[in-house]
């Protein structure tokens, strides 16, 4: 493994730990950035903040406003 590859692997790990999970206040669905929402075209590794504004809860259809950061 080159140094560059090592650094990028560490950065990737750091990003994954920084990103917060968000909970739908209506149905309890948890948006986990590590998994994304592939069914709706959201790639794994997408932070909640980076979701499109028109993204909705895949379970109940609630808007992003209904989500709160998980404790
Ligand atoms: Zn929901």
* Chain segment 25-58, per-residue pLDDT in tens: 999 999 999 999 999 999 999 999 999 999 999 9
Q: Output 71 or 51, whichever has higher pLDDT.
A: 51
Q: Which helix (H) or strand (E) holds 15?
A: helix 3-18
Q: Look at residue 64 and give its three-state secondary structure.
A: helix
Cα angle: 60, vertex 45, 23; to 5 degrees: 30
Residues around ion ligand 1, judged by CB within 5 A, are 24, 26-27, 29, 57, 59-60, 62
Average model confidence (pLDDT) across the chain: 92
- Distances in Å between the alpha carbon of 27 and those of 10, 57, 58? 34, 9, 10
pTM of the model as a whole: 0.74
Rounded distance, CA 59 to CA 36, Å? 14
């Amino acid at each position: 493994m080159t140094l560059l590859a090592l650094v990028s692997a560490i950065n990737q790990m750091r990003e994954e730990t920084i990103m917060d999970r968000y909970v739908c206040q209506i149905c309890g669905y948890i948006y986990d950035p590590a998994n994304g929402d592939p069914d709706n075209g959201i790639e794994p590794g997408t932070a909640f903040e980076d979701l499109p504004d028109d993204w909705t809860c895949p379970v109940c259809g609630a808007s992003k406003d209904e989500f709160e950061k998980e404790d």
